[in-house]
Every structure is written in structure tokens, then in C-alpha cells.
Amino acid sequence: MQEERFYELIAGETNLQPRQVQQTVELLDAGNTVPFIARYRKEVTGGLNEEQIRLVEDRIRYLRNLEERKATVLESIESQGKLTPELKEKIEKATRLQEVEDLYLPYRPKKRTRATVAKEKGLEPLAELMLAQELQEGTPEAVAQPYVNPEKEVNTVEDALAGARDIIAEIVSEDAEVRKDIRRFSYHTGLLTSKARGDKDLSVYEMYADYKELVKRIPPHRILAINRGEREGVLRVGLEVEIEDVRRKLQQKYLKNPKSIFVEQIKEVLADSYQRLIAPAIERDIRNQITEKADEHAIQVFAQNVKNLLLAPPVHDKIIMGIDPGYRTGCKVAVIDQTGKYLEGRTIYPHEPKKRWDYARAQLKELVEKHHVDVIAIGNGTASRETEQLVAELIGELEREVYYVIVSEAGASVYSASEVAKEEFPDLSADMRGNISIARRLMDPLSELVKIDPKSIGVGLYQHDVNQNRLAESLDRVVESAVNYVGVDLNTASKSLLKYVAGINNRIAENIVKYREAHGRFKTRQELNEVKGLGEMAFTQAAGFLRISDGDIFFDSTAVHPESYPAAETLLKRFNLDAQDIKGNGQILRHKIQESEIQISDLARECGVGIPTLEDIISSLEKPNRDPRDEMPKPIFRSDILKMEDLKEGMILKGTVRNVVDFGAFVDIGVKMDGLLHKSQMSNKFVKNPLDLFSVGDVIDVKILNVDAERGRIGLSVMM
């Protein structure tokens, strides 16, 4: 019954049908992976995509955890003998963890407070008298006199009244309705403030030296920047709220009798309760709330950038030279063939301090001619642009066409020192492995980047400041999504790539590679069942995402799942086609279906599958060897260098989007520094989120707005 309520709740939040939510949750509970559900269980979910399934997965997990917390809270309060039917109903109806914690606050076991000390002194009855506010004659001092007890350190009537006020202050501060009301008021009207601490160097925090902004309007990147400044001890951060408005709210609830002799005492209590107990707690709550939202936003931006980088198109059939630039330690050079196999590597020293420019160029030329290099991939780190100049000179000397590309080297050093790199190149030093990674990133970004912790890929903003567990979970999901979207060649994929395939973990990936090494190429998908540890469930999840080119069964080279092979065979026979026909012309099947004028629903019934599955089969057979990345923008191949001093305002250039953040995008236009395409220059219309317009890897035409050579800044606008 409880689960059904969850389905209704999630459906209302997501504009889905409760039945869709229920069936999706049941699939997840049965151990099915999100990529598998999204691709091969469309009939069951009603065609939900990965994003919708993830949303259902996250919400059902939250609600189940919330239910567990409610049970713990109810048990705790009941054990104290304080659980009333009204309180139980409020807790059971709560839909947010914050509501439950607010209701639990008065009953939560706590350390000794001023209020608990006052209760130990016997002052609770006095506090109840004061809070009731029924007495209209006499004085508070006279009422408090009987509670004076030097043995309990209540030496004066003021001691008694102060203790009673402490008890009331805690009661007010633990009022769930009060907290909820003040939290809402503070969020909607409060100002987040930051001020410089002393004479510390502000550097990047200059704009926050004396800063105020409405909490509800402050954008995520500013929240994260202020938080970082606070952590570094540069900024003092607080929440500014109209105290008089809050006091009025408290007095409206707690001043019950204006004629009571305790009116002034209650006013004093309310002021103290807010300033000492409520305000600090509310400030923590709100700052945690906005930080959590900022974290989620930053994680989403980072995840989207990582996904776009992973889905960058591969460079097929090229001999690639990778160069990891450096000054003192030299530039590491490696050549790989069309399959990514390492051919040869060297270290050259064209820059400071050795400055062996001509000899370095000669060594590069020798390697290019010896291995027939087609493209040179240059890492974008230290000494990148100086190395680019060397390569441009080299290309000018060559008789055959050779191009170069600037490649992000973020995480290359992480990879080069990893166990994966040591396994791949046990005879090479760590500093020689990074240049191979740079070359392979151009050849096949997805296959190479999965070897690196996604956090090290370097296309985020404040990724080291956000919740690291949530970031890791989100990025793992992104990598899993990208890998399964593209599909994996079962006979060439590395362990690092295989472990992200739906249903396959690290151990199974390792066993697949061992099986391949022992038995040679996989000839069919069914052969996977011979792999140790890969059971029926894992096979079902993984098989459709694993491809076998030139195997024994044609369908194994497509995205058609083995469970749908009978349907695919029926479909081909229905139109007198076979595998050879499809290999020769993937469009032929769709043409024959269109010519027959048969209804897709009737055809699905004939094949024994649902309409979504049939449409996926047709699409898969239409492009049997399709790599969706081939439709993405290709990298910019250059043959000559552009210098900062060559840039002029108004110049039109082609650039590659390297990073997308809240306030714009950084674009590589072929000079030392990436230019900033601010979101105000992205469109004639207001741009709320730059990710709606641009993605990492996009190749775009930009116009130079301004150049600040001294500060290394370039302003850009997009050509509209």
C-alpha cells in the first residue's frame, strides 16, 4: 500500500502515469540496469528514456529512505511515551526529510542545554505558567519567588525567571511550524552576505569583498564561489534577515494575552529564541539547501560536459603522433597506428632550458616520415602553444599533407601513473605513457577517457567543491550511458571500457578479456555464456550493447538484442531479405516496408514484438555498423599557427568549445588562451543556460570582440 502511494507521488511530480512508475521500479528492483531498461524494455515502461528512469530511481530511493527514517523517529518518540495521534499523522504525511526532522526535534536525545539545566532546577512549572499567560494580576517576580532555591543554584527571582525563559526559548525553537514558516520567510526575503576577512588577499574573490544578494536569486556558481572563499578563510559569510518581521511573526503566535503580566518576559524570550537558537539553525538549513542545489547544478553541468566529451567523434584510419609538451623535462612523443598500437616514442627538448629546437624538429620529421603520420595531437597543457609552433614549422617542411590538433590532456598524468597504464605499457615509464593517451584520445575519445577518473577530465566548474559522492555517482552514470549508447566491440574493448557495459562489473570485464586471450576472438554473443561469472542476468543486460563485427551471426554486429533475433528474422523473411541484402544496403528494409503500406502495428504483431521494439529493430538494421559519434562535429585540423598578436577585433574564426559553464563557454580558437563566449553574446535572446545552446566539442564560428593580451583574455561572440 505504501509503495502504491509512492508511485502516485512520483507520477504527480514527473508527469508520468503511476503504472509507468510502478513497472519501472519493478524492473529496477529486479536488478535491471538503466541503459537496458531504456533500450530494451520500452513496452514495459511506456518508452521512458534514461533521464526519466534515473529520476524514478532517485525518487523511489529517497522516499524509501524517508519511510525508514519515519519509522525510526516514530519508534523513538513512542518509546518516550510522547507519541500522540496528531503527531503520528503529521510525521506519516511528511514528504520531505526536513519536515520529519523538524517534527522530531523536541524529542531528539540532546546534550545538556540551558533549558535542560533549568528543568533540573525545577523551573518547568514556572515556564508553563509564563507560557500560558493567564495571570493578569501581580508581578512576574512575585510568581517566581516560590521557585527560588539556593540548593539548586536558583539564588534570586531573576535566576528563576531566566531559567524559565530558557525553557520557553527551547520550546519555541523546536516548534516545527515556526521553523517551517521562518525558514520559508528567510529563504524568500533573506540576503546572503559576504565580507572580506581582514587584509587577506582577495584575488578571485574581489567581487565578494562586500556583497549581498537575495538568497532565492543567487546563481549556483556564485554560491560555490562564496563557499570556497569562506573555506579558504578569505570571506565571512552570513544570512541577513529583517529581524523585526520575524519577531512580529513569533509574537503573533506566542503572545496570546496582551494583558498578561508575562508579556514583556515572552517578548524577551522570543527575541532570545530567534537570535540564539532559531536564526543559526535556519541559516545552516538554508545554506545547506542552496549549497545542495548549487552542487546538483554544478554536477549536472560537469556531467553533461563529460558526456559530450566522451561522445566526441573518433578519428578513423589515421596514424597519429601524440605529443605531451613540457619545458625542463622535454616533450614526450609517441606514434600509434590505426588500431591504437604503440609504435615508437621519444623525448625531445625544443624549449627552455635546452632549446634544441632544430634537432627536435628533425626528430619529429624522422618519425613522421618513418611511420607515415597523418595527424599530430598536441596536449593543451604547459608549453602547448610553443610546441604547436614547432609542429607548424615541421608541417611547412613536409611534402605530404599532415595536420595537427590541440587535444585536452586533462587527466593524462592520472592515467599514466594508474594500474591500467602499467598493465598496458609495463616497459614504459609513467612520463612516456601520457603522450600515448593523448594520441589515443584523438583516435577514440570514449575508449581512452574511460580509463581515467571522470573527475580528472577537466570540463567542470568547482567540481572539487561539490559533494564528492554525488559527483562520483553522477559521472559513473554518465560514462555508463555514453558507453552503452555507442556500443562496444566485444573483440577489441579494454577491461576499462567493458566494465561500463550494462550488467558487467570489473570482475566480469576482466574475465571477458582473459577468455578472449585464451580462446581468441568471440564468434557469437552466445559465447559470452562461457565466460566465468557471467550469468544469465548479466548476459541479458549486456548482450545488446556488445557488438561482434564479421562474426558468425549478422545480428551480433547490430544493436538488436538476442531475445529479438526471432522477430528480426521473421521481419527479413516477410520481405524476402537476408543478412547480405542488409549489409549491402541498410535502407532496403525500410523502403520495402513503406512500399508494402502495411501498418506498423500489424507488422509488430506478425513479428511477435511491441511497436517500439520493432521500430528499434528496423533502425538497427538500417545502419548495422552505425557509430552515433560519427554524426558529431569533427575536430578542427590545423596546419598553421595563430598567435595572440595576430588577433584583431572583428576577426571571424572557427573554434572548438572546450568547456561550458553557467556564465558562458570557453572556446579554443587556436591561440594560447581559450576565448570566453559569454552567455550574453550567444544569442539575440536571453540565454538562461549555455548548455541549451552549446556542448563540449562543438565546432562554431566566433567573432573577436576584444583582446586583452596583458591579462590573457579574449572576448568572443557567436556568429548568428
Over residues 527-551, the pLDDT tens digits come to 999 999 999 999 999 999 999 988 9
Which residues have CB under 8 Å from 588's CB, separation 6+? 577, 581, 582
Out of 346-350, 416-420, 667-671, pick the least confident. 667-671
> β-strands 699-708, 652-661: how paired?
antiparallel
- Residue 146, Cβ density class (10 Å: 0-12 exposed, 13-18 middle, ≥19 buried): exposed
The per-residue pLDDT for 202 is 76
Residue that is written with C-alpha cell 502504491 in the block: 4
For residue 467, name the pLDDT band (cuts at 50, 70, 90): confident
CA–CA dist 131, 96 (Å, integer) = 30
Out of 17-26, 179-188, 291-300, 363-372, pick the least confident. 291-300
CA–CA dist 86, 70 (Å, integer) = 15
Per residue in 564-580, pLDDT tens?
999 999 999 999 999 88
The per-residue pLDDT for 654 is 86
Cβ proximity of 504 and 538 under 8 Å = yes
CA–CA dist 316, 375 (Å, integer) = 11
Cβ proximity of 547 and 486 under 8 Å = no
b vs e for 563-591, b when ≥16 Cβ sit within 10 Å of the residue's Cβ? ebbebbeebbebbebebebbeeebeebee
Per residue in 189-245, pLDDT tens?
999 999 998 777 777 888 999 999 999 999 998 999 999 999 999 999 999 999 999
The per-residue pLDDT for 461 is 67
The per-residue pLDDT for 526 is 97
Indicate if the pLDDT at residue 468 is higher than 90: no
Using alpha carbons, select from 46, 44, 61 the residue that is nearest to residue 10.
61
CA–CA dist 342, 674 (Å, integer) = 31
Cβ proximity of 404 and 373 under 8 Å = no
Mean per-residue pLDDT for 286-295? 95
Which residue spans within 123-177 are E strands per DSSP?
none
Cβ proximity of 667 and 657 under 8 Å = yes
| Domain architecture of the chain: domains with CATH | 2-107 (1.10.10.650), 114-298 (1.10.3500.10), 320-443 (3.30.420.140), 506-631 (1.10.150.310), 644-718 (2.40.50.140)
The per-residue pLDDT for 176 is 95
The per-residue pLDDT for 262 is 95
CA–CA dist 399, 396 (Å, integer) = 8
Mean per-residue pLDDT for 72-89? 95
Q: What share of the chain in percent tops pLDDT 90? A: 77
Indicate if the pLDDT at residue 631 is higher than 90: no
Mean per-residue pLDDT for 634-647? 79
* Eight-class DSSP state of 526: G
Q: Give the chain's mean pLDDT.
A: 92
For residue 1, name the pLDDT band (cuts at 50, 70, 90): low
* Angle at which helices 18-29 and 50-79 cross, to 10°: 80
Indicate if the pLDDT at residue 373 is higher than 70: yes
Mean per-residue pLDDT for 644-659? 86
C-alpha grid cell for residue 63? 522516499
Mean per-residue pLDDT for 128-156? 94
For Cα atoms 95, 100, 106, give the angle at the middle one, nearest 5 degrees. Answer: 160
Residue 499 φ/ψ, nearest 5 degrees: -70, -15
The per-residue pLDDT for 103 is 96
Listing DSSP states for 682-718 in one string gives S-SS--S-GGGT--TT-EEEEEEEEEETTTTEEEEEE
Indicate if the pLDDT at residue 506 is higher than 90: yes
Measured over the CA atoms of residue 356, residue 359, residue 364 and residue 365, the dihedral's sign is positive
Whether the bond into 353 is cis, omega within 30 of 0: yes
For residue 583, name the pLDDT band (cuts at 50, 70, 90): confident
The per-residue pLDDT for 460 is 66
Mean per-residue pLDDT for 593-620? 94
Half-sphere exposure of 266 (CA within 13 A, CB side): 23
